[in-house]
């Protein structure tokens, strides 16, 4: 569990630094920081500017009549946040919970508002810097996830990393469903 806490603290420091200095400290052409994590033995990454925090795994409260990839909702300082099992979202078997399982809290645009969402992952690795020139476009075939979920691919320390496009993980109507489920007055949120 100390590995998880160390990764959480390092990621939150990097994200806070990047958000605080995004306008002047780092030019758009320079390297960007990404949080890497493991899902089903593969390494994925999300830009840290979309990440709000990383939580140790806590069992989400299930919400009836939601898609299979929605494993439930959690209470995050009084806000109801939907948690998505990325493994199921990518058409795989559900994630097995272990000591290293985490929930990554991200923010995605839902219309004119930002929607907080949790992503269930097998383990959080580290924050890496990747220059835009090192990012290859998504392949037309050969991956086991839909290519619209992929921003690009990069190689770090001789391993491929799949960079996810968080805005494409859910369609607008799916985000609307999740926002509805997370609404404080929603009958399903009270369950």
What's the pLDDT score for residue 191? 39
Whole-model pTM above 0.75?
no
Contact predicate 15/49, CB 8 Å: yes
Longest Cα separation, the chain: 49
HSE toward the beta carbon, residue 129, CA cutoff 13 A: 7
How many C-beta neighbours within 10 Å does residue 107 have? 15
What's the pLDDT score for residue 3? 52
HSE toward the beta carbon, residue 170, CA cutoff 13 A: 28
Of residues 68 and 2, more confidently modeled: 68
Quickly state the pLDDT bin for 23 (edges 50, 70, 90). Answer: very low
Q: For residue range 103-139, list pLDDT tens digits in order.
A: 999 988 777 788 889 999 999 999 999 888 888 887 6
- Give the CATH class of 2-190: mainly beta
């Amino acid at each position: 569990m100390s590995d998880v806490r160390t990764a959480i603290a390092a990621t939150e420091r990097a994200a806070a630094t990047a958000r605080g200095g995004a306008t002047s400290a780092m030019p758009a052409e320079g390297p960007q920081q990404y949080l890497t994590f493991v899902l089903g033995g593969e390494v994925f990454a999300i830009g840290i500017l979309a990440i709000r925090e990383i939580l140790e795994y806590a069992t989400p409260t299930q919400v009836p009549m939601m898609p299979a990839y929605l494993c439930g909702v959690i209470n995050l300082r009084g806000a109801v946040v939907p948690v998505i099992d990325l493994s199921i979202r990518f058409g795989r078997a559900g994630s097995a919970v272990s000591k290293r399982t985490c929930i990554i809290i991200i923010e995605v645009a839902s219309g004119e508002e930002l929607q907080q969402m949790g992503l269930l992952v097998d383990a959080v690795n580290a924050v890496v810097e990747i220059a835009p020139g090192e990012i290859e476009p998504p392949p037309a075939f050969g991956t086991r996830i839909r290519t619209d979920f992929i921003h690009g691919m990069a190689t770090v320390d001789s391993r491929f990393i799949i960079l996810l496009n968080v805005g494409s993980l859910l369609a607008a109507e799916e985000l609307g469903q999740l926002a509805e489920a997370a609404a404080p007055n929603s009958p399903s949120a009270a369950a």
